């Protein structure tokens, strides 16, 4: 009885320690984000200049679609409001819910996602610090910032936290793709997998139609997601050729379970 109680307490302590470790990762990430925000806070002129340079490149490539996309969205009743709310709720709130769900469902998938988010976050913050880019609604007064005109602005841009000069690359696109790929690998539900594909596509449209990102911010976000996926897959030990972790080994052993004929029915493992 005492042994089982001690084992339960040890398991509980390990669980608390694991949660505290993850909270420590989050705290460190938030601190880095706020540090970059403070560093770029007075660089609006440089961010606007960089945004205009990005727009000039888009024109050379023939992909300066920001105005046509926003204008077309605004002409359809209710469409702009839908994508504005999708921009708000389809990003950070969704990331929080999915991250908690993965933590409870699959620690291996959770570790891959957490590692991917941290590594890609470091890369993205380095880009923000070295090359701040203003979004369309700041760089060009002819754009309409639909997020500021919609409901739940504080969810999209928490006061004192949001970095308005971090348009390139798009975390909205990059992290949504990263989450979508990890969840796609984790579930076999066709409905969920379909949402994992449609969600990043809709977010890519939303970030442009709300005037919060330039078109070239999207492929930059895709590249950010690729970095995160590579890091999450291999640094967490879930990549091809990696040694199975505790969760992988339990699944592997379960697949090789044998029952001794005529025995007690207890499972043994080779």
Q: What is the pLDDT of residues 179-194, one digit of tens each?
A: 999 999 999 999 999 9
Find out whether the peptide bond into 169 is cis, omega within 30 degrees of 0: yes
| Total residue length of the chain | 270
State how far the Cα of 187 lies from the Cα of 40, in Å rounded to an integer: 40
Task: Calculate the average pLDDT of the chain.
Answer: 87
Kindly report, residue by residue over 98-119, the tens digit of the pLDDT: 999 999 999 999 999 999 999 9
Q: Which runs of E-coded beta strand occur in 76-118?
A: none
Residue 133 forms beta bridges with which residues? 166
**CA-closest candidate to residue 214, choices 24, 69, 22:** 69
Per domain, the residue ranges of the chain are: 2-268
Q: What is the dihedral of CA 262, 264, 268, 270, to 10 degrees?
A: -20
Helix H segments across 41-91?
A: 44-61, 66-75, 79-89
Q: Could you tell me the CA-to-CA distances from 141 to 67, 134, 196 in Å, in that order?
A: 12, 12, 34
Kindly report, residue by residue over 37-49, the tens digit of the pLDDT: 999 989 999 999 9
Q: What percent of the chain has pLDDT over 90?
A: 68
Kindly report, residue by residue over 62-81, the tens digit of the pLDDT: 999 999 999 999 999 999 99
Residue 166 forms beta bridges with which residues? 133
CB 208 within 8 A of CB 69: yes
């Amino acid at each position: 009885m005492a042994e089982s109680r001690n084992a339960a307490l040890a398991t509980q302590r390990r669980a608390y320690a694991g949660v505290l470790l993850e909270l420590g990762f989050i705290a460190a990430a938030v601190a880095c984000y706020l540090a970059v925000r403070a560093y770029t806070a007075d660089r609006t002129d440089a961010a606007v200049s960089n945004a205009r340079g990005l727009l000039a490149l888009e024109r050379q490539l023939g992909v300066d679609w920001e105005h046509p996309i926003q204008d077309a969205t605004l002409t359809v009743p209710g469409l702009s409001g839908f994508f504005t709310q999708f921009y708000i709720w389809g990003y950070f709130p969704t990331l929080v819910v999915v991250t908690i769900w993965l933590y409870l469902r699959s620690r291996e998938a959770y570790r891959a996602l957490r590692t991917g988010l941290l590594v890609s976050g470091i890369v993205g913050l380095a880009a923000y610090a070295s090359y701040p880019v203003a979004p369309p609604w700041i760089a060009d007064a002819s754009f309409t910032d639909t997020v500021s005109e919609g409901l739940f602005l504080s969810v999209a841009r928490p006061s004192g936290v949001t970095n308005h000069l971090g348009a390139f690359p798009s975390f909205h696109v990059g992290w949504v793709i990263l989450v979508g790929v990890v969840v796609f690998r984790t579930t076999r539900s066709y409905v969920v997998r379909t949402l994992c594909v449609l969600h990043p596509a809709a977010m890519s449209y939303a970030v442009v139609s709300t005037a919060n990102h330039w078109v070239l911010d999207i492929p930059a976000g895709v590249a950010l997601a690729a970095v995160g996926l590579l890091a999450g897959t291999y640094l967490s030990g879930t990549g091809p050729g990696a040694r199975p972790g505790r969760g992988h080994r339990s699944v592997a052993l379960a697949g090789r379970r044998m029952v001794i004929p005529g025995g007690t029915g207890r499972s043994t493992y080779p």
